[in-house]
Every structure is written in structure tokens, then in C-alpha cells.
Amino acid sequence: MQQPEIKELRVFFQPMNRVVTVPAGTSLFSAIALAGIAIEGICGGKGTCGKCRVILTRGSCQEAPASDSGCRLTKKEEEQGYHLACQVKVTEDAEFTIPVESRIDSPQILITRTGITGGIDPAVKRYRVDMSPSDGLPFASRSVRFAGYSGMRPRMSDEKYNKLLATDIPRSATLSESRPTPVLLGISPADESIPLYGIAVDLGTTTVVGCLVCLDTGEILATGSTLNRQITYGEELLTRIAYASSPEGLITLQKSAAESINDVIGTLSLVSGIKSADIVDVCIAGNTVMNHLLCGLDPRYLELTDVPVSRLPIKKSAQDLGLDVHPESGVYCLPNVSRFVGGDAVGDMITAGVHFSDELSLIVDLGTNGEIVLGNRNWAASVSCASGPAFEGAGIRSGMRAMKGAIDHVWVNPDTGAISWSTIGSAQARGICGSGIIDLGVAMVETGALDFAGKLNFRHPKVLSSPEGPEFILVPATETGTGWDIVITQQDIDYLMDSKAAACGAIAVLLKRYKCTVWDVRHLYLAGAFGAYTDIQNAVRFGILPRFPVATVHALGNGSLSGAYATLVSMQNR
């Protein structure tokens, strides 16, 4: 029987002015991804986060039946034509507007200038080629060695081997020890002075950050960043593991990770004027799931409790992963520790230098997944916690990433009790990000809008009733860039209480397990955007962190990128 022909439909997206052709019945969320548009989608298309709002402006679409666990739009939003992209199927030619609150753009990305302990000793070096005396022997009968090199015999193609034997002209060989077996990358005249280049990459769940480095000197030549293309398939790690449960899904996520890194490589090449093919080494720090997905390893076993995870660094070739650098370049992924403590936490440790200190240190890296490390030069222990994406602005009614227009800080006038705020880029407020949420929680307590039990107080003039329950109005709709009130609801407060309890509880568990107290910790390292932008005193007052009375607090910055850089330029750090 002849299969019925599937109708092709055109879907327009504004204000990007993009159009994509898809088969009838395609999910609108998939069509948006096909159009190359970055849109919020924390739940990965399950309909539970309510962040992928779009507005139907022309045509019609098929709405999926609402489930009890799904996120429902308000009646006002439905009247204005709002839909959740992941709950809509395209049934005819249509046009949608993606409102400003649903777009992902202009992220505030933390890039830290990095440093290392010790000298420059990269995995890729040049060595002088020495050949045995001819003594009348043909070239093919003579031996070749690399002056100063004492490692395993490097692999090389027949073409390169014959090139080595072809002449007595002084030459240099570029050898890479980044892969399990050393590899001969190239042969050049002995007097050639072209530098060797490498890149260090922080492969984050949300963002990918990289820096281009001169391997001869350790100098950082350029930095670049982009959003991780895997966001389209879910922002949570477990969502991505589920997506990768099929071979096709795993291939898709592997390509997305590689393409994201290639976007950064392209930026670095453009800014520096250096050809990507001249990049001969790559070091990547990412969490355990990101490492698996980038390297095409099935991550499904990571869902199992107490499953053992290899602590050996993953070594691949750039060609195998599809990276736009020298095809025989090695790719070194910082090793994982456990299911939810990965190479990014190892990078934090290297950056903090915990393994060199006699004093007890605590590293706290809070994101969707919280990673906490306790230790000194003699020992180290770690724990992870599901702190949730609240501190990244997700899961909160008016929450958003640290992007342009996000409220990043909130404070109270001590004389008047008035609450003020600032936004990233001094733009009109679009929502509130993690650092602003923490500040706001403290401000609400100070002004009486939030009581000791974490309940909104109707006696405060800014606490009003809504169909979804009580809410605190921080910015009225007339003053926002979206036309919607920026609010904190009682449900948001409950979620924040769970998140802060997870983080503070994990720290307490780790200290208790190793019979330490807050008085024993001498150095507190706060990694990532949490440490760079959050008011630490407010984090303590809000209950995210305990108070460490004698500890020196250090903002670690992007410890993951710093760790990748350290292993790029130093074999000792590897």
C-alpha cells in the first residue's frame, strides 16, 4: 500500500524573521530548534517549566491536552494567544512571535584569567630530528630519534615516516602526548619559529567558554563563549541523559556539544587571526554527564545509585569528536570523580590549589547541580547535591539567566525601607537572576514581606493575592521590558527554601562525615557565577551557606576553565 504523502508546512518566527519548513505534526519546539533559535526550555519539552512561551500571530496549531503535572498558562496569557512551544504541533502554515522573556541572548558569562603552578610544560612540543650517520647507507636503513624526547615511540603514518627519512636537512618534529599513544603531528624546518597553539574549554551544561593559548609561553591570546546547543534538548542533566537513551539521541547530543565547541573555536580563530588547523591540543573540563555526551559514551548508567565511575581522564582525537582543529590533535578531558562530581570540580581544585595547602579548605560550586569539596594536601572528599536551578534563575516565575535585563542585585534603603534594584546592562527589567533572587529574599525578610517561616505576609503593601496564590510584586508591569509584573510567588519561596536546604545540608553532611566544624575551615572558595556575583553576607543570611567564622573567602571565578588551562600548559597538572 502506498504511504500517504506528508504535507510540508512553513513556520515563520518573529522578530527574528526566520522561516523553516517542517512536516505536518512536528512539535513547534523542534521547529524552533531547526530554525537555530535559542529558547528557554528547562524541562526539555515536558511542559512542566512553562518557560518556552510563544505567541501565535497567524494560522493555527494543535494544542496537546494539559496534564496534571504540566504547567498551565494563565487565562490572560491564553487570551493573548500564548502557547507553550513544547505542547504545540504544527498543523498548517503559521507565524509565531517569540517574546523577549522566552529568548536566550546576551548571557552574562564569567571568563577568568587563569594561572598555573609551576612552569610551562605542555603535552605538545617540538623536538630536533637527529638521524644516524649515513655511512653510505640508504635513507631507509638509517635510524631516527628526537633529541630530548624519552617517551614511547610515537605513532606516525607511512607518509610522515618516509618524509623523516627523505633528507638530511635539519628539521623539527611536533609530537603530542595528549592521546594514549604519542603521535607525530608534523615535520617542519628546524629554524621555523611558528608557535604551537592549544585551547582550554569549559564545557558547561548551559554555556561553553574557551581560551586560545600559546603553548610555548602560556599566554592567553583570545577568549570566547557561546551557549551549549544541547539546551534545545533539555537544560537538566537527567533530561539529557533521557534524550541520549537512544543511539540517535546520543549522536545528536554529541554533535551538539562538538558544534558548540566549534563555535567557540571559530570565534577564537577570527579574533586572533590564527587558523583553527594550527591548534594542536585541546583540554576540556566538564561535569560527568557532559564528558560522556561529548565523547559519545552512553550516560544511562549514571542514573543508578552508587554506580562506579571511571576516574581515568578521557583521551580522544579531535577528528573522532568532530572538532575543527588539527585532525590529529589530542583531546584531554579532565577526569570524573563520581556520577555528579566531574572534571569541572577537579578544575576547581586545581585552580584553588587545595592539594598544596596544609590548611583545611572548602570549595562550593553551586548551579543546577551543587558540587562541594573538602580537604587539604593530604586528603579530599566531595559531595554533590540537587540544589536545583533556582540559583540560576530557573524554576522561578519571573526567574531568568544572568542576561541583559536581568535584575542582578536588590537592596533596602535603611531609612525608608524602600526596595531598589539594578539590572545587567542597565536595561529595562525582564526578570530576576540568581544573585538578585538571593538579595531579594533577604530584602523581603528585612521589610517584613516574608516571615520567619518563609510565608509571604499580606500586611506588606507589595504582597498581593493572585489566582495562583500570594505574590510579592518587585517591579510592576508598566516598568518592565516584557509588559508583565516581575514577582516572587509563595511557590517560588518554597522552591528556594528547598534549594538552599539542599546546599547548606550537603555542606553540613560533608563536615559531619569527616568530623570537622565550621571553625576548622580556613579557606572558603566560591566557584563560578555564584561566587563572583552573589553577596556572600546575603547568602549566609538567607541560609545557603553556614557562617565560617575564621575562613578567608575567595571568589574562585571560572575554576573549570582555569583547570582546563592549567592542564593544557602543564603536564605536572595533568
The backbone region for 21, taken as left when phi is positive above 0, alpha when psi lies in -120 to 50, beta otherwise, is beta
- pLDDT tens across 87-101, in order? 889 989 988 988 877
DSSP 3-state assignment of 410? strand
pLDDT for the residue numbered 563: 93
Q: What is the pLDDT of residue 129?
A: 85
pLDDT grade for 140, boundaries at 50, 70 and 90: low
pLDDT at 114 over 60: no
Task: Show the beta-strand stretches assigned E in 355-468.
Answer: 361-365, 370-375, 380-385, 406-412, 419-423, 431-432, 463-466
- Top pLDDT among 173 and 134 is at 173
Q: Which residue has the higher pLDDT, 358 or 306?
A: 358
Minimum mean pLDDT among 76-80, 195-199, 227-231: which range?
76-80
SS3 330: strand
Question: 492-521: per-residue pLDDT in tens?
Answer: 999 889 888 999 999 999 999 999 999 999
Reported as a pLDDT band with limits 50, 70 and 90, residue 134 is: low
Tell me the β-bridge partners of 176: 124, 183
Question: pLDDT, tens digit, for every residue of 239-282?
Answer: 899 999 999 999 999 999 999 999 999 999 999 999 999 999 99
Q: Which pLDDT does position 76 carry in this prediction?
A: 77
What is the rounded radius of gyration, in angstroms, for the C-alpha atoms of the chain? 27
> 118-131 as b/e, with b when 16 or more CB fall inside 10 Å?
eeeebbbbbbebeb
CB 353 within 8 A of CB 377: no
Q: CA-based angle 285:218:203, to the nearest 5?
A: 15
Q: How far apart are the first and last CA of the chain?
A: 61
Kindly provide the b/e burial profile for residues 424-435, where b requires at least 16 CB atoms within 10 angstroms of the residue's own CB. beeeebbbbbbb
pLDDT for 138 beyond 70 = no
CATH 3.30.420.480 for domain 197-346+564-569, yes or no, is yes
> What does 337-354 look like in DSSP terms, one character per residue?
-SSS--HHHHHHHHHHTG
Instruction: Give the separation between CA 315 and CA 309, rounded to whole angstroms.
Output: 16
pLDDT higher than threshold 80 for residue 367: no
Q: Kindly tell me if the per-residue pLDDT of 132 is higher than 70.
A: no
Q: Which of 417, 384, 405 lies closest to 509 in space, CA to CA?
A: 384
Query: Residue 98's pLDDT is what?
Result: 87
Mean pLDDT of 410-432: 90
211 and 114 Cβ atoms separated by less than 8 Å: yes
CB 428 within 8 A of CB 422: no
- Write the pLDDT tens digit of every residue in 280-307: 999 999 999 999 999 999 999 999 988 9
> Is the full-model pTM beyond 0.75?
yes
Please check whether the two domains, 8-102 and 197-346+564-569, share a CATH topology.
no
Question: Model confidence over 445-470: pLDDT tens digits?
Answer: 999 999 988 999 999 999 999 887 89
pLDDT digits (tens, 9 = 90+) for 48-57: 777 788 989 8
146-170: average pLDDT = 82
pLDDT above 80 (res 135): no
One-letter amino acid for residue 214 of the chain: C
pLDDT at 199: 97
pLDDT of residue 42: 65
CATH number of the domain located at residue range(s) 8-102 in this protein: 3.10.20.30
* pLDDT at site 38: 78
Residue ranges of domains in the chain: 8-102, 124-189, 197-346+564-569
Categorize the per-residue pLDDT at 71 as very low, low, confident or very high, splitting at 50, 70 and 90: low
What DSSP element (H or E) covers 443?
helix 434-446
pLDDT on residue 109? 56
| Per-residue confidence (pLDDT) for residue 311, from 0 to 100 | 95
**8 A C-beta contact, residue 364 and residue 370:** yes
Distances (CA, A) of 273 to 209, 261, 263: 19, 18, 15
